[in-house]
Amino acid sequence: AEARPRVLVVGAGLAGLGAAQRLSSSRAFPNLRLLESTGRAGGRVYSQRFGTGRAPRGAGPRPRRAGAVSGGCAGVQRPWGKDWGAGPGWVWSEVVEIGAHWIHGPSKENPVFQLASDYGLLDEEAMSEENQKIEVGGHPLLPAVFYSNTGRVLSPELVEGVRNLFSTLLDQTREFLHMPQVSVPSVGEYLRKEIAQQVKEWTDDDETKWLKLAILNTYFKLECCVSGTHSMDHVALGPFGEYAMLPGLDCTFPGGYGGLPDCMLTSLPKESVLFHKPVMVVRWGGSYREESQEGRTFPVQVECEDGERFLADHVIITVPLGFLKEHHETFIDPPLPPRKADAIRQLGFGTNNKIFLEFEQPFWPPDCQLIEVVWEDESPLVEAGTDLQASWFRKLIVFLVLQPPERYGHVLCGFIAGKESEYMETLSDAAVLRALTDVIHKLTGNPHLAPPKKVMRSQWHSAPYTRGSYSYVAVGSSGDDIDALAQPLPEDALLQVLFAGEATHRTFYSTTHGALLSGWREADRLLSLYDTSESHQHKPRL
């Protein structure tokens, strides 16, 4: 086995796990190692426990939703929630998603959906044929309530009209894909230009006009969460339509998204995965020898922060684009060719965070699953303030109500993108709670409403091995940059250094299925390099 190619995979997110799983299922690669910087698998797929639901005294056993699954593959138990406490009035915590939330487009073509179904991680509704056929263009409609900062609830009809206008304009932005020229560089500028035109034709009174603009501004902020960017002015217009959507109504994992990487991990030989092994530098194009391996040289040497070194024939790098942006000049030696370094600099990688709030009692109506927030003094046609300290919380414009309440208690999951989100990461939990309590007092018009009893948030920008949430095609870059990033090194087909990860998938970037497919792509690239007959020599097919 020692004569067969040695492969290292850097990063145990879905891309790294996918690559490792595919390679380890071939007998051509018995010498496989996966090096992960943190203490867990999953990367930006990360489920944690939150909330302390409490049953009333005298309540019976804790209810479970019909059709519930308790989680998949052998050796991995992911129960719905954890009960503890003796006597009447048990308490529990539930699984929430710190990172990826939904399977976008859960249908046959989506490998995350397929794998999760095979592992038994999804409920019957998500797996149903009807669910797989539904096409909502990435924006499922949930029963929503629209609160304004003036303490009033906005009319659903008014909001619906504005939302339809916004989604029509957004659909138009995807039509520039194959056009040689675009009139403005960014999605944001295009939308604002169109809105400025439309406003001239509005016949509403002034107050309604301003309100409609304020609602539109909420949709700009929502779109920043979707694209993982500070401003839609940073998202390139021409390539925007290249992001591909699959059919299927977005679904979640009843036992947590983290069940997927956990199951993938169990299929790998235990000794092949090393946690707490941050890679510091990947050296390639060399001739490295191990003392115990006389005569055999390896072109790749990977050195970890703790000084341990690994030699290999091939390394698949799956670290996030955010990490590469910060470290690529020292992380890879010799440095990347200019085309690749430019792609890393030019592609976008922003921040989208979640803030979970648990309430003793809901302030929203029982059937509400989504809370949208409108700041009536804002408009996409008026430059926003830049004082982060004074107004960061204005960027948080949507809360999901975690369902069902019998399972979660009264928990909201807020989404916040951009520089405001990065600023929020620097605050204490208490400061976040204070600011959001103020916001909720404004929205409800009730300054005495009890504050949330618990808060938890993600901090993806501060995470040293991620440095943000996901990639987007920024102004000044295009899908060609994604392909350039995905190109292996060196260019003469030796495949010493390969690149996977969501940011290397030209049409599914920013998603879990993009990540998984990119890992498979690089594994297949290696598999097709070798003659996979049971020859004990490793012979590249060049």
Which DSSP symbol is given to 232?
G
- Distance CA(187)–CA(193), nearest Å, equals 10
Burial class (CB within 10 angstroms; exposed 0-12, middle 13-18, buried 19+) of 26: middle
Measured from the CB atom, the residue of 154 and 347 that comes closer to ligand 6YU is 347
Best CA proximity match to 320, nearest among 522, 32, 36: 36
- Distance CA(141)–CA(192), nearest Å, equals 24
Q: Which of 50, 80, 92, 102 binds ligand 6YU (CB under 6 A)?
A: 102
Q: Which of residues 463-482 bind ligand 6YU (CB under 6 A)?
A: 465-466, 469-470, 472
Identify the H or E element spanning 260: helix 259-266
Cα maximum dimension of the chain: 84
- Distance CA(319)–CA(10), nearest Å, equals 7
Q: Which of 101, 212, 230, 328 binds ligand 6YU (CB under 6 A)?
A: 101
Per residue, the 3-state secondary structure of 63-78, as one string, reads: CCCCCCCCCCCCCCCC
Q: Which of residues 342-361 bind ligand 6YU (CB under 6 A)?
A: 352, 354
Q: Which of 7, 8, 9, 15 binds ligand 6YU (CB under 6 A)?
A: 15
Measured from the CB atom, the residue of 15 and 121 that comes closer to ligand 6YU is 15
Q: Which of 28, 36, 132, 517 binds ligand 6YU (CB under 6 A)?
A: 36
Strands 31-35 and 6-10: parallel
- Distance CA(148)–CA(214), nearest Å, equals 9
Residue 35 interacting with ligand 6YU (CB under 6 A): yes
Q: Which of 6, 104, 454, 461 binds ligand 6YU (CB under 6 A)?
A: 104
- Distance CA(429)–CA(441), nearest Å, equals 18
Nearest approach, Cβ of residue 191 and ligand 6YU (Å): 13
Measured from the CB atom, the residue of 53 and 350 that comes closer to ligand 6YU is 350
Which range of residues in 101-109, 370-378, 440-448, 481-489 is near ligand 6YU by CB under 6 A?
Answer: 101-109
Contact 542, 531 (CB under 8 A): no
Residue 278 interacting with ligand 6YU (CB under 6 A): yes
Q: Which of residues 123-152 bind ligand 6YU (CB under 6 A)?
A: none
Which range of residues in 264-272, 340-348, 440-448, 505-513 is near ligand 6YU by CB under 6 A?
Answer: 505-513
Measured from the CB atom, the residue of 278 and 286 that comes closer to ligand 6YU is 278
Contact mark string toward ligand 6YU, 228..247, x via CB under 6 A: ------------x--x----
- Distance CA(364)–CA(371), nearest Å, equals 8
Q: What residues pair up with 499 in beta bridges, in sequence order?
A: 317
Q: Which two tokens stand for residue 542?
A: 């060049």
Q: Which of 28, 100, 122, 398 binds ligand 6YU (CB under 6 A)?
A: 100
Q: Which of 44, 78, 394, 506 binds ligand 6YU (CB under 6 A)?
A: 44
Residue 315 interacting with ligand 6YU (CB under 6 A): no
Q: Which of residues 509-538 bind ligand 6YU (CB under 6 A)?
A: 510-512, 515
Query: Is cis: bond before 490, omega within 30 of 0?
Result: yes
Number of residues assigned to the chain:
542
Q: Which of 9, 12, 215, 526 binds ligand 6YU (CB under 6 A)?
A: 12
Interior CA angle at 273 toward 267 and 279, to 5°?
145
Residue 115 interacting with ligand 6YU (CB under 6 A): no
Give the helix ranges, DSSP H, for 72-205: 111-118, 124-127, 129-133, 156-173, 187-201
Q: What residues pair up with 357 in beta bridges, in sequence order?
A: 412, 455
Residue 502 interacting with ligand 6YU (CB under 6 A): yes
3-state secondary structure of 483: helix
Residue 10 interacting with ligand 6YU (CB under 6 A): yes
Amino acid at 370: L
Residue 460 interacting with ligand 6YU (CB under 6 A): yes
Residue 38 interacting with ligand 6YU (CB under 6 A): yes
Nearest approach, Cβ of residue 158 and ligand 6YU (Å): 26
Q: Which residues are near ligand 6YU by CB under 6 A? A: 10-16, 35-38, 43-45, 99-102, 104, 226-227, 240, 243, 278-279, 318-320, 323, 352, 354, 458, 460, 465-466, 469-470, 472, 501-502, 510-512, 515
